[in-house]
Structure 1
Amino acid sequence: MQHDKDAAVVDTGNKARRWIIYVAGIYILTLGLSLAIRAGIGISPQSSLTRTMTLVLPPLTQGNFNLILEVIMLVLTFLIWPRNFKASNLLSMVPALVLALLLDFNLMVTEWIHLEPYAANLVLLFFADAMLALGLFLMIRANLVLMPIDLFVNTIQQKTGWKWGNIKTVFDCTLLALSASIGLMFLGAPHFIREGTIINAILVGQYVKLYFFLYGKYAARKAPAPAVAE
């Protein structure tokens, strides 16, 4: 959800262009996720859960588990507020499927990345979070379909009136707790939850804010100057 001050950044023009921006955003986001995983010093709550599940049930990929999680969120969205659920909400599974496919593709493409020095992995994580945030920014800018997870959070916000950011924080903490619990039960210890998880939680939001700011500056510079009355 964006504030009014960010409304000028949202694209409301040609739909074909917006879909191109949206898919490009998904690709960049999944590449950022893949690089964050290759950094090996902790990943986001959602990614840590789906990544942990690949160790518990190795035949399935992270993209598979990401898609399963999105399906669960869509079902929960319906159960929370059936009257508010629209048939068009089912379209959110299309970008979710694209994201799952691109995530597995980018994990395969980045499989060769193994960095030894801790500093190099830290730099890689900073870069990965910047890419992840850029993907999010492009998807927000395209102003098209919400992913089921975001739809779920939005539905709770609309039904309860609670602040969106607070709901998202509780949601992320729940996923983190699930990831840690599953890791303890099936693997003997939590996996993929480290300092990088905290870095991701802080940096991604700040990067997105930066992209909004930079685009706002660019749009203001590109806008035609107001006519001067004679």
Structure 2
Amino acid sequence: MTNNKKDLLKRYLIFLAGLFVNSLGVALITKANLGTSPISSIPYVLSLNFALSLGNFTIIFSILLIVLQIVILGKNFKPESLLQIPVSIAFGFFIDFSMILLNALNPQMYAAKVAYLLIGCLILGVGVYMEVLADVVMLPGESFVRAVVARWETEFGVTKIAFDVSMAVIAAAASFFLARELNGVREGTIVAALLVGFIARTIGKKLHFLPGMLFE
């Protein structure tokens, strides 16, 4: 096996591992019952009101984001970006598996919920860092933001914040419409939005030497 193929294999293995770690973080944040991460908020609200699982709605929502990327980018949409489809399916199954693994976790005290939330954010931040480190495929949420940036030449950071806020607002509106109360979007959604990216960036800075050690 050539060095390039070995590097690519390592990258995909790291990405898949990061995807699973990511799903564990999402599941733990969700089990804290203080809201979930912004990108998962719409699938979570839908899962609370319909028969499909969080993982299944995550897959459906991800496919929608991929379709929107195609609409936004048109002929500039790259065929390799269709790899987001199997990645989304795997991520959805990982989320459902992680929810089953953590089924026994049902914190009642607020302090315990906050602890689970913070640990979940840390785990999710590690998963995001692993996906960035692999640098092979992006999840549809980030790819959608990049598509908007490419199409309208906006600033990535501002666009990402606007996207996260939009997801939370839409999820809250859907919750009020479907259940006549706010479920699935709470203070934990805000905490996750602020912490996860910060954790991933901090890990990246601390382990700046790692890509050079792992890849040729």
**TM-score, normalised relative to structure 2:** 0.91
1:44 aligns with 2:37: yes
The CA deviation at 1:181 is 1.1
SS at match of 1:216: coil
Query: Is contact 1:184–1:190 with CA below 8 Å preserved after alignment?
Result: yes
| Residue among 66, 82, 87 paired with 2:74 | 82
| One-letter amino acid matched to 2:78 | K
Higher alpha-carbon Rg: 1
The CA deviation at 1:217 is 6.1
The CA deviation at 1:13 is 6.7
1:61 aligns with 2:46: no
Query: Is contact 1:81–1:155 with CA below 8 Å preserved after alignment?
Result: yes
1:113 aligns with 2:105: yes
Q: How does 1:109-188 map to 2 (within 5 A)?
A: 109-188=101-180
In the aligned structure 2, how far is the partner of 1:192 from the partner of 1:210?
A: 28
- The percentage of aligned residue pairs carrying the same residue is 26
In the aligned structure 1, how far is the partner of 2:57 from the partner of 2:191?
A: 23
In the aligned structure 1, how far is the partner of 2:143 from the partner of 2:161?
A: 15
1:162–1:13 CA distance, 2 compared to 1 (3 A): farther
Query: Is contact 1:179–1:190 with CA below 8 Å preserved after alignment?
Result: no
SS at match of 1:116: coil
The CA deviation at 1:96 is 0.9
Instruction: Give CA-to-partner distance per residue, 1:111-138, whole Å, 9 cap, x none.
Output: 1101222112111111110000100000
1:100–1:218 CA distance, 2 compared to 1 (3 A): closer
SS at match of 2:197: helix
In the aligned structure 2, how far is the partner of 1:48 from the partner of 1:151?
A: 18
1:218–1:66 CA distance, 2 compared to 1 (3 A): closer
In the aligned structure 2, how far is the partner of 1:24 from the partner of 1:192?
A: 27
Report what 1:32 is aligned to.
25
TM-align CA RMSD:
1.9
Report what 1:98 is aligned to.
90
| One-letter amino acid matched to 2:55 | G
In the aligned structure 2, how far is the partner of 1:148 from the partner of 1:125?
A: 23
The CA deviation at 1:214 is 1.6
Report what 1:9 is aligned to.
none
SS at match of 1:172: helix
- Unpaired segments ≥5 residues, structure 2: none
- Unpaired segments ≥5 residues, structure 1: 1-11, 223-230
**TM-score, normalised relative to structure 1:** 0.86
| Residue among 178, 190, 193 paired with 1:198 | 190
1:21 aligns with 2:20: no
1:140–1:117 CA distance, 2 compared to 1 (3 A): same
Instruction: Give CA-to-partner distance per residue, 1:32-63, whole Å, 9 cap, x none.
Output: 110111111122122221111012212x1111
In the aligned structure 1, how far is the partner of 2:170 from the partner of 2:80?
A: 30
SS at match of 2:208: helix
Aligned residues: 210
| Residue among 189, 207, 211 paired with 2:181 | 189
Instruction: Give CA-to-partner distance per residue, 1:52-80, whole Å, 9 cap, x none.
Output: 1012212x111111111111111111111
